[in-house]
């Protein structure tokens, strides 16, 4: 009994010690934010790494056989300028290119976290490139967009080696990667925007056939409005780290981050999705509205507000859930239309059943689709 009591007391002291350490760490982070976002951003990077490792483990069982992988191909000299290339082992001639930009709040994340997902896309007849990019706070806006253009230039120059058709390109991204992908689309298509951002396009609007945008952040002001509590503190920290200024909303150069304000009728065809439980959902809806105002009807996968279970940020990577499978199916169909079928036009697709449901129509068809 005495031994048990000593063990219990030791455990209690250990738990209390852990609580004190966490409390002190929290105080240190809050204190550091008076002068710099660096410590908080680096802690976030660790959290992204842990979450990415768990997601990669869950996705691994979905990686198909018959995909060739070339990893850590260097496309530039700066930090993290390495990319992975995946393609089917058997391919007749050059294949369309899908460049996928990983998420991580501009301060974390990695290409390795989505390797299995990119292999899955590649197995459907694409060369898929997953580039890394330099992270904040060490590297600030617009470094990732500039590096992604360098990755596209590297892939274009080495098209024969990788069996790429450089005239058929789509760019996708998740979370922070979706904002970067959308920004690349605007850089290529919006007059004057490339100069404003300071990134020179290396492909033409004709080569960029489409964008896949999952759970992105496309407007600074709206992001501030919709984020509350811990989400707002998180947003302020990463935006400070990425912009280089605490007062990022007053910075006229960083205002170019808000891609939703820089779309034109020439913006690439886009497939946009977000979960109904994602606090960033209004940002995807805003981008879709801005595109419609320009005469472009984006394809969307927006779930009804009442959908259960609530779908959080990056829901699409959960391939064990029907919603994740539905996104994959819709994305592959979008890529097929944009990259494989001959001479895709700028036709306006009819509103999907999911969009009609989100607008308040009957949910019976939507539920039946998920049960299939």
Q: What angle do CA 249, 102, 124 make, to 5 degrees?
A: 140
CATH number of the domain located at residue range(s) 33-371 in this protein: 3.40.50.1820
- Which residue reads 């964008």 in tokens? 211
CA distances to 6, 22, 148, 330 from 197, in Å: 63, 40, 13, 32
CA dist 34 and 52 (Å) reads 29
CA dist 276 and 309 (Å) reads 9
Residue 118 has pLDDT above 60, yes or no: yes
Question: Which of 114, 64, 55 lies closest to 84, judged by CA?
Answer: 114
Per-residue pLDDT of 14-27, as tens digits, reads 454 444 334 444 43
CA dist 307 and 87 (Å) reads 36
Residues paired with 128 in a beta bridge: 86, 98
Per-residue pLDDT of 296-355, as tens digits, reads 999 999 999 999 999 999 999 999 999 999 999 999 999 999 999 876 555 444 444 444
- Residue 57's H or E segment, with its range, is helix 38-59
φ/ψ of 179, rounded to 5, equals -65, -45
Question: What local confidence, expressed as pLDDT, does residue 356 receive?
Answer: 45
In this structure, what DSSP letter does residue 191 have?
T
Q: Is residue 246 packed enough to be buried (19+ CB in 10 Å), middle (13-18) or exposed (0-12)?
A: middle
Structure tokens, 209: 């056939």
Residue 223 — very low, low, confident or very high, per pLDDT cuts 50/70/90?
very high
Whole-structure pTM over 0.75, yes or no? yes
Question: What local confidence, expressed as pLDDT, does residue 18 receive?
Answer: 44
Q: What is the mean pLDDT of the chain?
A: 87
Per-residue pLDDT of 69-89, as tens digits, reads 999 999 999 989 999 999 999
């Amino acid at each position: 009994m005495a031994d048990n009591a000593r063990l219990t007391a030791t455990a209690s002291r250990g738990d209390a010690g852990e609580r004190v350490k966490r409390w002190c760490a929290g105080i240190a982070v809050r204190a550091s934010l008076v002068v710099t976002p660096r410590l908080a951003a680096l802690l976030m990077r660790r959290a992204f790494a842990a979450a990415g490792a768990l997601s990669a483990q869950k996705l691994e069982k979905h990686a198909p056989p018959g995909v060739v992988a070339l990893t850590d191909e260097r496309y530039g000299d700066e930090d993290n300028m390495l990319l992975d290339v995946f393609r089917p082992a058997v391919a007749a001639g050059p294949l369309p290119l899908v460049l996928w930009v990983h998420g991580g709040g501009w301060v974390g994340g990695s290409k390795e976290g989505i390797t299995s997902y990119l292999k899955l896309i590649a197995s459907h007849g694409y060369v898929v490139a997953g580039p890394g990019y330099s992270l904040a706070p060490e590297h600030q806006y617009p470094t990732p967009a500039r590096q992604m253009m360098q990755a596209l230039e590297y892939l274009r120059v080495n098209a024969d080696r990788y069996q790429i058709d450089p005239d058929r390109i789509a760019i996708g991204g998740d979370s922070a990667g979706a904002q970067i992908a959308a920004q690349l689309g605007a850089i290529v298509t919006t007059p004057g925007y490339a100069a404003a951002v300071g990134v020179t396009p290396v492909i033409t609007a004709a080569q960029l056939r489409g964008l896949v945008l999952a759970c992105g952040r496309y407007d600074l002001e709206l992001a501030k409005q919709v984020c509350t509590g811990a989400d707002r503190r998180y947003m302020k920290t990463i935006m400070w780290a990425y912009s280089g200024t605490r007062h990022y909303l007053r910075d006229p150069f960083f205002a170019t981050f808000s891609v939703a304000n820089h779309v034109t009728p020439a913006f690439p065809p886009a497939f946009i999705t977000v979960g109904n439980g994602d606090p960033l959902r209004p940002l995807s809806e805003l981008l879709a509205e801005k595109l419609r105002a320009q005469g472009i009807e984006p394809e969307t996968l927006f779930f009804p507000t009442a959908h259960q279970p609530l779908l959080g940020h990056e829901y699409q990577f959960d391939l064990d859930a029907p919603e994740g499978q539905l996104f994959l199916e819709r994305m592959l169909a979008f890529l097929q239309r944009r990259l494989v079928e001959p001479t895709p036009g700028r036709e306006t697709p009819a509103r999907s059943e999911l969009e009609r449901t989100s607008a308040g129509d009957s949910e019976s068809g939507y539920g039946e689709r998920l049960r299939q």
